[in-house]
Structure 1
Amino acid sequence: MTISSRLGSGDLGEMEAMELEQMLAAYSRVSSANKAKFARLKVVLQQFHTKGIDCLLLKGADLILRLYGVLGLRGMVDVDLLVHEEDLPAIDGLLRSLGYRTQIDGNPAYQDPESILTLDLITEVWYVDDQEVIWQRADQRDFEGIPVKGMGVNDLLVYLTAYNVAHRAYLLPSFARDIAFLVEKEHLDWAFILEEACRRHLKIPLHHGLSYVIRHTSTSIPLHVLEELAPTNRTERFCSFLLNKLVTEQPIAELGHLLLFLTQPARRKGRWLKNSLFPSKAFMTNRYGEEWARAPLATRLGRPFSLASQSLRLSSRLAVALLTRRNQ
């Protein structure tokens, strides 16, 4: 008997009724919050469209519209947008004209006047050499009369998995649900995904992330996909061992920074390290705000020492995790 029929007949226990009431209340809260955020996002996207500014919706904003269909089934903290770097000045002027305030973050980030919607702008997908391929494979759909873009479905699966494993560096059931919905509702080219994983040096992160999805959902990821992503040499087995120990449902602070470096394309690792130690003025402004404006030289000189200190603390946390955590 379904819950709805049991409700109609009164055949629903007190505990079940309380749980159902809590679920409905949670759904209502998430739906209301997302509705307010999407209303503000619509204004921004309409302005982008009018001004000819291109963007791709990423993560939650894309997934809710694309997979979930209703606003209350998935929460959304902020909205991530992939934009072209050359459009950042125009975007800054547009958002400021709408009353948005800049936020302290590594990327350009803005919050609306009522502190309801936060926009996080990124200009590149870290594991891709040529960013243009992401834009060329993008999907376009309609959002309340506004044409919007999201990643192509195969890029989306790779990005979501790589982001959660190597950028966020911890895994949650919500990630597993997102991937399960994507697999069920979209047509995936697994041959392309396998090629992309190898080409982007993401084979082991994808194996780790998709293995987690299979353990936590009933989604039907083809068995041969995991078999082809599985480690086959000593280096890959060591990487798999590390991810099994470190990237779990228990986050390790700043682990993502290390994994981002390790998953950079080989020829970009040196540049990434240099930019981390001695970043651009734009990054320093976004990251340090008033501190940078007040004492730019001291802030810049202090950054390498601060990063070195963080690295030492991270090393300590990694050692503890490797010694105490069980393999997944």
Structure 2
Amino acid sequence: MPLVDMPLSQLTSYEGCNPRPDDFDVYWRQALEEMRSTDPRVELVPADYQMPFAECYHLYFTGVNGARIHAKYARPKTSTGPHPAVLQFHGYKGCSGDWSEIMLYPAMGYSIAWLDVRGQGGLSEDTGGVIGNTHRGHIIRGLYDEDPNKLFFRHVFLDTAQLAGIVMSLDEVDENRVGATGWSQGGALTIACAALEPRIRKAAPVYPFLSDYKRVWDMDLCENEYIELKTFFRYFDPQHEREEEFFTRLGYIDIQHLASRIRAEVLAGVGLQDVICPPSTQFAAFNKIRTKVKLEIFPDFGHEPLPGMGDKIVRFLSDL
């Protein structure tokens, strides 16, 4: 097996190298207080897409900083009582996809909510009230500002937890039987959601993004989705005089530092040839989870479809 990172024997004990801010726990406690004080003004709008077995809606709510957030929401047409639900999160710069991609869950008797990340490819508003795609630059949005509360992904992480709470509050949903899943950025948001909403019962992240930024930098893999880190230093700190400060600030939105909060059972997928989200950055988060974790390892695969992983996730979530 070609080696692009550490040997597996080292990965399973790697603890990460990106600094954790001293006030990390206070930061997220205050962030959650802000989220809970925000009036979500939930709205369900029937979608044009409907199925004989599923009712489909555009779900809107107001997130922190006043952004109006969108998710696709589908529920089974017939249900004898509160049923399970799944939260789904998409990859970086993307959006919730076609309705047909999520119809499996209503067919199983589950509800599903698929979040559009603010400012990316879907219908959610970016901070400031602009609808649509700001495309990229989100990792470093707010990084130069002295106030870490302006970090873009702080707001996105809170959106995931707020969506979870909204779905759990719906009459048709059993709040104790909710799972979350996603790949890449969606994997990161799965971890963030399960960390910030402890009622999430099962979480299935696949090669999660947004973890151990300093490790990505040290491996000289600031390309593809992480190229923003290189761009930031070229524009704002060309001699790296504030490197430690900036990586410490990124620590507020580093999912490895949130992972220990997770109470859910976890199924995780990782390709050991991943050069976009290096395996060590993923293991930095996985190794901090204190609950039951089952790793599905694909030695010869990178940041790409992992054969059979989708089926494993469905089976994992089928007994919520």
Normalising by the smaller structure, the TM-score range is under 0.3
Name the one with the larger helix percent. Answer: 1
Q: Which has the higher contact order (CA 8 A, sep 6+)?
A: 2
Name the one with the larger strand percent. Answer: 2
Query: What TM-score comes out, normalization by structure 2 length?
Result: 0.28
